Amino acid sequence: MDFKDFSKHLSRYKWLIIIVPVVAVAITYFMVKNMPKEYSSEAQISTGLVDQSKQVYTEAGQGRDYYQTSQQFANIMEKMKMKKIMSILSYTLMLHDLEDPKTSFKQYSKKIDSLSAPQKAELIDLLKSKIEKKSVLTVADNKEKFPLYEIISSMGYDEKSLDKKLSIYHGDGSDFITVKYTSENPELSAYVVNTLAKEFISNYTLDVNFNQNNSIVLLDSLLRKKEEVMNQKNEALRNFKMANGVLNLDKQSEIVYGQISQNEELKAQALRSIQSNQGAIAAIEAKLRGADPYVGGNVVSDNRDIVNLKNQLKVANDRYIDGGFKVSDKRKIDSLSNVLSNMTARNSDNNITDPTVSKQNLIQQRAALQIATDQARSSIASIDRELAMLKGKYNKMVPFDAGIQNYERDADLATKDYMEALNRYNQTRTEQNIGLKLNIAQYGLIGTPEPSKAMLYLALSGIGSFSLCFMAVVGLFFLDNSIYSPKQLEQATGLPIIGNLTLVDVQGKSIKSIWNDANNPDYIAYKNLLRSIRLEISNHMEADDSKILGITSLGEGEGKSFLASSLAQAFAMTGKKILLIGGENHVPEASNSKELVTRENFETFLVKKEIRTDDLITVLNKNNDNTSLLELQSNKSLKAGFEVLREEFDLIIIDINSMRDLNIAKEWLMFTEKSLIVFEVGGVISDTDRDALNYLKEQPGLLGWVLNKIRTNSKN
């Protein structure tokens, strides 16, 4: 957003933004200056929902649920606004005014004044009957003898009228519900809040008691049914136990199962003992068979060799003695003695213990293990008999267990249902006795007038109207596609800006008088801007020796004709010989005045190919009936005519039709070498204009825009 453009936009609507709030405040002032005073009254109802000192019964460890408490407060406040309660309030107010006209809160309406005394008495009886029956006031009451709804509405005592100035609210963290009513009568305000509070508490208490009594009756009936079912289930369980001789099946089955587990463990221990003893016996027998060198094996062999040597030594001794003590026999005896001595010594070194003793020990151990194995085998048989007996006893308990579980489950569920119903019954009884009790903590009193809201209404009126006007102006700014600045025009079209021209008052003025006026600041500013445009055009045309300049616009009234005449005057001031085709029509002046002079039509020149020049500026008028050039002359003839003009003049300025006459404008643009577009400030480029603009962009000599009729500060 361009803040500069936005500020200009606000400046254009500044009087609207100022005048509308002022008018709104003025109207509001006259409306509220005689506004009557208002009086408010408040009554407070104590609920006991938050105040713990008023709560006799609370469950241990139970905290206050803030959500539930807030919901209870909301329910109470909604019930206070119910049609039944508001109808009772309407009847009560109407009854008060009818029974005691002197203290009536309001002046009687025309509907009441039209009633006679007997009719008023009959109406009083009707209102009392409605209050007693707690009837709801509806439009259907108009169909009775008295149009009750219309009568009450005429006094402003109907629900809709009362609700406008009635407010019921609860402060956060407070135990009180506040009822507030505002009216022009202080006594009425106090009466409304007090009556509403009393009637609501009365009706609320009756409704709660009625609901609780119904609940107690229902719960009592339910409790009796639950108790009957519980007794039936417990009786069935007791009969089943007595019929099957079961005192405590769970305990008995647990004991039997434990005995079975113990005997199975004993049997497993006996089997492990047999297996270990058999393994030990096999190892002992392997040792006894000679696998152990300390029991048999090498020791036995050595002893056998020693015995053989001893026998051989005895035979050698007998032969030595019987043979006459031969030397050879003696050597044999000595040799055997040495061998026997060496073997005996070796056997003593290798065998410290006695092998016979070890063998005897092994034999004894084997015998003991065999006895222990036989004992274990004997115990297995007795254990199996005990297990068979226990398992048979346990199997007999299984059917009883399935049946007794069903009975116990039914009895347990029935007992739980009964206890839940009993707790609910007791809780409802307790809540009925010590439950929520509403009380009026503070009655509504007659108060002083409320502070005047006139200033508030004035402020709201001024701020509101100002905000609306400001938002409307801002909305117009964003919705307005009008172009007011060169930057906007360049961004919207993508074409450069050649220059800007201010809005000047030319009524009764000629181009020459504008140039010669050195006192009017608007004319001076206009001429300076025109000179800047002249310089830009000169630079572009001299760059390629162009001489024909076309000036057009997207729509009518953009100021292109005045610009063409002004440029002719501006270039003439530099001493150039100018031809203006079209332009503004002015009254001819003297030839030496350098003023624009109308001589002949362009169509006449096309026929004669001759032109008479007047000083520095020569004017050829165009045919106002928008005749097509190509219908007057051929394209070749037109080009020849423009060549004649190029030779005669330094600059040819053509005031081309606007792009609304697209066919005529296209024909003129065929013969221009440079062109520019005039755009009036505040204009909008439509979709049709964009199509024409796209065509202009395709022209090779298009210089850009001239933003025309810019308002200066003095014209805003």
φ and ψ of 248, to 5 deg: -145, 90
Between 219 and 609, where is the model more confident?
219
**Structure-block tokens of residue 136:** 């709801």
Q: Does residue 552 carry a pLDDT above 90?
A: yes
Which carries the bigger pLDDT value, residue 474 or residue 9? 474
8 Å CB contact between 580 and 564: yes
Q: Would you state the pLDDT for residue 3?
A: 73
Lowest mean pLDDT among 129-138, 293-302, 374-383, 422-431: 293-302
The mean per-residue pLDDT over the stretch 287-296 comes to 61
247-256 contacts at long range (C-beta below 8 A, 24 or more positions apart): 249/397, 249/400, 249/401, 249/404, 252/397, 253/394, 253/397, 253/401, 256/390, 256/393, 256/394, 256/397
Q: How many CA atoms lie within 13 A of 125 on its CB side?
A: 6
Residue 222 · residue 420 · CB < 8 Å: no
* pLDDT, tens only, 170-226: 887 788 889 999 888 889 989 999 998 898 888 888 877 777 677 777 777 877 887
Distance CA 490, CA 497 (A): 7
Domains of the chain (ranges plus CATH)? Answer: 12-216+436-442 (no CATH), 250-419 (1.10.287), 486-715 (3.40.50.300)
Per the model's pLDDT, the better-predicted residue between 227 and 545 turns out to be: 545
pLDDT computed for residue 598 by the predictor: 46
CA–CA distance, 649 with 580 (Å, rounded to integer): 10
Q: What are the two backbone dihedrals, phi and then psi, of residue 566, each rounded to the nearest 5 degrees?
A: -65, -40
pLDDT tens digits along 316-333: 777 777 776 777 777 777
What would the mean pLDDT of 599-608 be, rounded to a whole number? 64
Q: What is the CA radius of gyration of the chain?
A: 65
- Closest C-alpha to 689, from 478, 481, 476, 480: 481
Burial of 560 (0-12, 13-18, 19+ CB in 10 A): buried
Q: Which residue has the higher pLDDT, 592 or 472?
A: 472
Alpha carbons 694 and 659: distance in angstroms, whole number:
11
- pLDDT, position 535: 94
Average pLDDT over residues 268-295: 74
- Mean of per-residue pLDDT scores for the chain: 79
407 or 310, higher pLDDT: 310
Q: Which of 68-72, 172-176, 388-392, 669-673 has the lowest mean pLDDT?
A: 388-392
* Among the ranges given (62-76, 132-146, 276-290, 590-604), the one the predictor scored with the smallest mean pLDDT: 590-604
pLDDT at 499 over 80: yes
Q: How many CB atoms lie within 10 A of CB 691?
A: 11
pLDDT at residue number 596: 45
Q: Are strands 617-621 and 598-601 parallel, antiparallel or unpaired?
A: parallel
Give the pLDDT band (50/70/90) at residue 25: confident
Considering the entire predicted model, what is its pTM? 0.46
CA distance 436 to 401: 51
Q: Which of 365, 377, 385 lies closest to 273 in space, CA to CA?
A: 377
